[in-house]
Each structure stands twice: as C-alpha cells, then as structure tokens.
Structure 1
Amino acid sequence: MATHNKNLSDFSHMEVASANSYRFGIVVSQWNAEVTGKLLDGAYETLTKYGAKEHSIRIIQVPGSYELTSGADILLRDKALDAVICLGCVIQGETKHFDYICSAVAHGISHVALKHNKPVIFGVLTTDNLQQALDRAGGKHGNKGAEAAVTAIQMAALSAI
C-alpha cells in the first residue's frame, strides 16, 4: 500500500504561499464529527500557520457530506472569499449509499468551483472504516484537513495571478 505508515501531510518538499492576503471559507460536515472535527482543526491551524488571519476564515457546518456542495455554494455568495475548503467523511457501509454519496459530493464540489470560478477544495475522506478515517484525520497518515488548507492557499495564490 502506497500510504502504509506514510504521513501525507508533510509539506517540507514544497514552498507554500502566504495566506496573509486571502479569505477562506470552510464548510464541514457534522456527520462523523469525531473525524470531521479533527479535519477542521487541521485546516484551521494550517491556514493560520501560513498567515491567514482569524477574521479571514469563515466556518459553517452542514449536516452531512452530501450537503457540502450546498454549503460551499452558500459561502461563495460572499464574493470576497478566495477559496472554500469542504471537509467531510464518508465511511463504507453495507449498501451502495457510499458510492452514490461520494460520487455526488465529488461532482458537486467541482460544479460549485466552476459555477463561481473559485477554488473549492475536496477535503472529504472516503474510507473503508473508521480507523482509516482517523489515520487520515491527524493520525499516522497526517491530516487531510491540513492538506486541503495548503491546497486552498496554493489555489488562491494561483487564482490571483
């Protein structure tokens, strides 16, 4: 497995732009809160680490990952936002529900980004079990929320060119 015992949130190999002049939205799912709360912490801490001001980060919560798309669309009504980070966690169950939700969320996030011509970042874990999610929400594989924040910073900087 490519991620076996590898921290995917190591950014030492790249230069991350300053987030000082950008405004960010974060929409986070309340479903699987044990995981999404850690993703939110990782995203927020990373944005501020790279210079984002607390008042330049707007956070909203939505019931589940399916609603991340609507949440991002609502946040982007604020034209001053430079990027939106979507954080959620969908864990495989015994039905096809997992496949439908994951597909809808991925397509929806892409659609909102194109609709508003702004970066909308996919920070949604799609795992087989809770342990895999925890491993990617501050565990041995890093924090996908932090990764999404770095992506948002980089894309905001790219969009400003």
Structure 2
Amino acid sequence: MAQVSNSNLYVDDAGILDAQDACVVIVRTEWNAAIVDALESGCRKTLTDRKVSSITTVTVPGAVEIPFAIKAYWESAKYWNHRPCVFIALGCVIQGGTPHFEYVCQSVTDGVTQLNLTLPVPVIFGVLTLHNEQQAWERLGGPHGHKGEEAAITALKMVALQRQMRTNHP
C-alpha cells in the first residue's frame, strides 16, 4: 500500500529550489466539493508556505473538463508576461454502480498525460480516483498523507527541475 512514509517527497532538498516567482494554476472540479476544497486548501497552504505569490484557481464542472481548461488557459496566456510555470489538476472521482467511473478516470488520466507530452510546462495529477468517500478522507491527512499538499510539492519540484534543465543546457 502506498503511504507517505515510503516517499522522500517531503524532503525539500530533494528538488525544491526557490520558486517564489513561480506562476501556479490550479484547475479543480465542482464535483465532490468538500473533498476538492480540502485538496485545494492543502495545496494552497503548501504553495503559500513556500512563498509562491502567483496562484490562480480555475473551476470546471467535472474531471473530464480538466484537460480542456488547462489547454485553454495555456493558449489564452500565450501573450502574457507571466505565463504559468505549472498546472495542478485537482478533483475527486468516486466509483458508483455504473462503468461511468472507469470512463471518467481514463479520460482525465489520458488528458493530463497528453498535456504533459504537449505543453512546455508540467501538469500535476492531483485527481483522486477512489472506491468510496472514506478513502478520500484518508488521503487528506490520514495514513496516505495529504494529496493536495503532495501535488503542490510535486509542482514545485517540477518547476525546479525544468529551471535546472534550462540552466544546465544552453
């Protein structure tokens, strides 16, 4: 079972550099609002604790719409001076009694994967795909850590990695 104790994610020297000037865009869903609110709260707290000053949230109806919103935001920011350095996708899909769960999970996963291969900035997958609501709360500060916080740390580490690659290669 994946637990936060099996990871070095929270070890700052494992990749987080100065990211105060990072522009972070969180794209979150309306479905399962209490859970997604908690995900976003942990994500924002972690980013704010690390002094990230530019955090924007975009809300979409459901998980399937996340990839579209990220792509549309990136395209609309094409001519801005301060473009996003990273996107964080936050949502919660809970299994019901129909195959709809599998279609939604596959769609959002494929969409975020495709964005990671086509956009020049990382897209962090912070979408919980669960069998029940209890599993969600276990991932919001329980034995599985806080997935919103983890998404923020992952985002900062990916920004640092991207900056390191630009510095090391002319």
| Same fold, judged at TM 0.5 (above) | yes
Q: 2:71 aligns with which of 73, 97, 100?
A: 73
Aligned residues: 157
Shift of the alpha carbon at 1:142? 2.2
Q: Mark the runs of 5 or more structure 2 residues left unpaired by the alignment.
A: 166-170
Q: Deviations over 1:109-149 (max 9, x none)?
A: 11122222210000000111001011112344321111011
Q: For residue 42 of structure 2, what is the amino acid of its counterpart?
A: G
Is the contact made by 2:2 and 2:144 (CA closer than 8 Å) also made in structure 1?
A: no
Query: Is 1:159 aligned to residue 158 of structure 2?
Result: no
> Residue 146 of structure 1 aligns to a residue in which SS?
helix
Bigger Rg, structure 1 or 2: 2
1:31 paired residue number: 31
Shift of the alpha carbon at 1:102? 0.7
Shift of the alpha carbon at 1:157? 1.2
**Alpha-carbon spacing, 1:2–1:58, altered in 2? closer, same or farther (3 Å):** closer
State the distance in 2 between where 1:67 and 1:117 align: 20
Is the contact made by 1:8 and 1:143 (CA closer than 8 Å) also made in structure 2?
A: no
State the distance in 1 between where 2:28 and 2:60 align: 6
Structure with greater helix share of residues: 2
Q: Deviations over 1:49-90 (max 9, x none)?
A: 11201xx11111000111111121122222411000000001
Is the contact made by 1:19 and 1:47 (CA closer than 8 Å) also made in structure 2?
A: no
Q: CA RMSD in A?
A: 1.9
TM-score by length of 1: 0.88
1:43 paired residue number: 43
**Alpha-carbon spacing, 1:155–1:139, altered in 2? closer, same or farther (3 Å):** same
Q: 1:126 aligns with which of 126, 129, 136?
A: 129
Q: Mark the runs of 5 or more structure 1 residues left unpaired by the alignment.
A: none
Q: 1:89 aligns with which of 81, 87, 92?
A: 92
Q: Deviations over 1:7-57 (max 9, x none)?
A: 67984434232321211100001100010000000111111111201xx11
Runs ≥4 in structure 1, deviation > 6 angstroms? Answer: 7-10
